Amino acid sequence: MRAEKKILTKEYVARLNASPFFIVVNYKGLKVAHLTELRKRLLKAGAEVHIVKNSVFRVAAQEAGVGDLNGALAGQLAVVTGQKDISAAAKALKNFAAEFDKLKFKFGYLNNQRLEEAAIVALADLPSLDVLRATLLGLLNAPATKLAVLLNTPAKMLAQVIKAKSEKVEAAQN
């Protein structure tokens, strides 16, 4: 392997090891302007796309411990990696693919588990991680709020009864 390819391989190994996920897409037919737009959208989602030579990526994936990808790497491929949420990156890719009809999902990996196209699309349909956290927090907070209301209601009613009784006694004394 030439020195340039070794450097590229090390760079991709570092990217794969630093990212909890990667998604491989076929970008055949996309123009430079489209790829620039895709890069902008992925940057907002906390991810980045890199066009990679199949042979270099195959070696990098093996060195990163992903496994054998020989049959899966064919065509003009780009690799999406990121530090944040895979569903945000998948959603950006899905929306872009629907808009430009050129980008095709090949496969992906999340925590060393292979994801096929259907799984990536399912991840894209999930709400964002922040929305899921807020929903979970709301679900956890709701019973505590209801319990506090239930515990305060009898005390509040008792205070109202005592107040009404004292007003009645005062009215009777006057």
Q: What is the CATH number of the domain that holds 101?
A: 3.30.70.1730
The percentage of residues in the chain with a pLDDT greater than 90, rounded to a whole number, is 1
Pairing of strands 77-82, 47-51: antiparallel
Task: Report the side by side order of strands in the sheet with 113-115.
Answer: 47-51, 77-82, 21-26, 104-110, 113-115
pLDDT per position as a tens digit, 66-101? 766 656 777 788 888 888 788 888 888 888 888 887
Q: Domain check: are 22 and 99 in the same one?
A: yes
pLDDT at 155 over 80: no
Using the structure block, give the residue that is written with the tokens 């922040």.
130
The total number of structural domains in the chain stands at 2
Which domain, by its residues, includes 102? 3-126
Q: Domain check: are 131 and 119 in the same one?
A: no
Q: Domain check: are 73 and 39 in the same one?
A: yes
Q: At residue 133, what is the residue type?
A: R
pLDDT per position as a tens digit, 18-72? 888 888 888 888 888 888 898 998 888 888 988 888 888 888 878 877 766 656 7
- Taking a C-beta distance cutoff of 8 angstroms, is the pair 50, 15 a contact? yes
